[in-house]
Amino acid sequence: MMKRAAISRMVVVGIVILLVAVAGGIGAYYAFMPAKQTSAISGTINVVAFSGFNDAALKKIAADFMAQHPGVTVNVIGEPYGSSVAAYMTAFQANQSSFDVISVAPGFMGILQPYLLDVGPYVSGSQYFPASWNSSDMIQSTMNLFKAGGAQLALPEASDAFVMYYRPSFFNNATNQAAFQQQYGYALPNPASATLTLQQLVDVANFFNGQHGSKYGIIVMSDSLPYDMIQTYGSLLASLRVANAAQYGPVTAQWGVFMSNGKLLINSTIGQQAMSTYIELVNASEGPLSTAFETAPGMFARGDAPMMLFWTQPAFYLNNANKSSIGGDWAVAPSYPGGYTTSSGTALSIFKYTKNLPTALAFLSFATSPSEAKNFFTLDSLLPFRYSVFSLAMSSEPQSAPAFVNVSNNVQHGYPYVVYASYFPKISAYVTSEFPSMYSGKDSVAVGTNKIVSQFYTAIAG
């Protein structure tokens, strides 16, 4: 969902090897080892889950934890993703211990950093993180998403990457192929074998928008909630940013695809190109200016469009007849339009001033341990953050195996779109507030993107 640093080639090779060799049981040794917990804990902690995202897993983990520790009460509190940062800041700025363990995304790190505990010293050696916690089983690049200033501010509960979903039946249809060729003068690009350019993505979305057996051309997030727009826009900018590294400087984990040497790129040539692409996609999508993180997957699962740009979570349930009507007719493209995408993850953090640090640490260790890690996949369909859980994912979802291999390829070509600095929320807010004016034509892309950049520099100067 949200908000990330790229997984290295070594990590991805490890994932692919694990996926291919799952029949041999690679990682099985660590998959369900129980994590020994300290018994010197008691009292109550409040754990925040993103509503409809990781809440089922955290409720199960909380129940398991309380069963092992009768003197502990774990309250799992649901908070919508879009309003979670505001809720955290309200509590933390008032020095309230309303939340002890919270769900976070990389984009949250900048603004929340002063309030989050550095768990690194505890992970590296303490009674709360025993050897069975197995740090080598963690996907290290996902761990790195939640580091800032040398501090490990959170531990992953899920990996993620922005991917392109598509329905093969629309692209393999001879009638559609002929009609597209006649209308656009080139062959209908098939995501299974071709890396679509951004212009081809727009052409295909327009071609299927309300035509050729489809209600809409594509599903993309475009609502006004924090981070939804910036996620999709950032994914479209990724390939342009990589291709123009000679002009704008190398893409680094600190600056992601937006900034290089302190320069905001939204009003640059490539920034405006990505914005123009985004506007055209929103125009061909379902629910312009209203489709959200929570609603987009359901639209695609109903069969409303032949394409969707989104995070990896839906790949775990699109073959589930109870959650999807397109089982057997969906796939993840091996490469994202343009060739590069954005990668991310979600994690759990501890409020630095929690009044029950021992129990919060014990719960964090337990929730991210090999024995409990599977719950985020089995109950909430989240991409594993431990290598060992990939083997479980593949064995339990054999129909989705090809999609997961393609997910790993996307992760390999993913870059973080966030920055850890506290101004990232400002960038997101300015894009969100100005985009409707560009979408309606009130402001041109040049005027709108310049406004965004001007607002940003005015804000940080103040």
Residue whose C-alpha is closest to residue 261's, from 245, 240, 273, 272: 245
> Which three-class secondary structure state does DSSP give residue 407?
helix
pLDDT of residue 187: 98
pLDDT of residue 396: 65
- Distance CA(118)–CA(39), nearest Å, equals 23
pLDDT of residue 416: 67
User: Over the stretch 130-166, which tens digit does the pLDDT of each residue have?
Assistant: 999 999 998 877 888 888 778 999 999 998 889 999 9
Residue whose C-alpha is closest to residue 428's, from 418, 420, 436: 418
pLDDT of residue 257: 63
pLDDT of residue 301: 98
Residue whose C-alpha is closest to residue 147's, from 193, 101, 116, 184: 116
- Distance CA(419)–CA(439), nearest Å, equals 26
124-129 long-range contacts, Cβ below 8 Å, gap at least 24?
Answer: 126/361, 127/38, 128/37, 128/38, 128/358, 128/361, 128/362, 128/364, 128/365, 129/365
pLDDT of residue 254: 52
pLDDT of residue 393: 67
pLDDT of residue 462: 66
> If residue 161 lies in a helix (H) or strand (E), which one and from where to where?
strand 155-161
Q: What is the DSSP string of 414-461?
A: EE----SSTTHHHHHHHHHHHHHHHHHTSS-HHHHHHHHHHHHHHHHH
- Cβ atoms of 396 and 324 closer than 8 Å: no
Greatest Cα pair distance, the chain, in angstroms, is 72
- Cβ atoms of 167 and 186 closer than 8 Å: no
pLDDT of residue 147: 85
pTM, rounded to two decimals: 0.72
pLDDT of residue 107: 77
| Identity of the amino acid at 451 | K
Flag residues of the chain having pLDDT under 50.
1-39, 420
pLDDT of residue 76: 98
pLDDT of residue 369: 96
Q: How many angstroms separate the Cα of 364 from the Cα of each of 154, 305, 334, 345, 448?
A: 9, 39, 34, 16, 43
| Identity of the amino acid at 406 | N
